[in-house]
């Protein structure tokens, strides 16, 4: 919704550019947060058999990973919206 609000008055090329940037940021964050979470689970392993950690379905917090990635990927759009609304209105009278 934030991305849509930002791109209401933009040209198609700018809309595609903003969408691709947001998707790239989201993808990079999902991979990054997932790898950090995986490494933290390995570090927590103190009683693992032969250094292999087994995970159950409920040990991975998918909602936290995707939610955090979505919120952080929205930040550039929010910054652009805030900058646009803070521009001073000059009256040429």
| Listed residue (22, 35, 31, 28) closest to 73, CA to CA | 22
Q: For 42, left (φ over 0), alpha (ψ -120 to 50), or beta?
A: alpha
Count of domains forming the chain: 1
Residue 56 located in a structural domain: yes
Task: State the residue range of the domain holding 37.
Answer: 26-74
Residue 49 located in a structural domain: yes
Residue 58 located in a structural domain: yes
Q: Quick one: pLDDT at residue 27?
A: 94
Q: Of 21-25, 58-62, 82-86, where does the model show the most confidence?
A: 21-25
Q: Does residue 92 have a pLDDT over 60?
A: no
Read off the pLDDT of residues 23-59 as tens digits, 9 standing for 90 and up: 999 999 999 999 998 888 877 776 666 767 777 777 8
Q: Quick one: pLDDT at residue 49?
A: 66
SS3 49: strand
Residue 35 located in a structural domain: yes
Residue 40 located in a structural domain: yes
Q: Quick one: pLDDT at residue 15?
A: 86
What whole-number distance in Å separates Cα of residue 55 and Cα of residue 13?
A: 44
Q: Does residue 72 have a pLDDT over 80?
A: yes
Q: Quick one: pLDDT at residue 14?
A: 87
Residue 21 located in a structural domain: no
Q: Quick one: pLDDT at residue 51?
A: 65
Residue 7 located in a structural domain: no
């Amino acid at each position: 919704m934030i991305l849509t609000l930002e791109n209401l008055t933009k040209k198609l090329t700018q809309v595609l550019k903003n969408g691709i940037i947001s998707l790239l940021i989201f993808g990079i964050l999902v991979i990054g947060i997932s790898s950090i979470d995986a490494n933290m689970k390995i570090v927590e392993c103190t009683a693992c058999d032969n250094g292999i950690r087994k995970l159950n379905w409920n040990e991975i917090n998918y909602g936290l990973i995707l939610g955090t990635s979505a919120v952080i990927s929205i930040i550039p759009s929010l910054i652009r919206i805030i900058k646009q609304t803070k521009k001073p209105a000059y009256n040429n009278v």
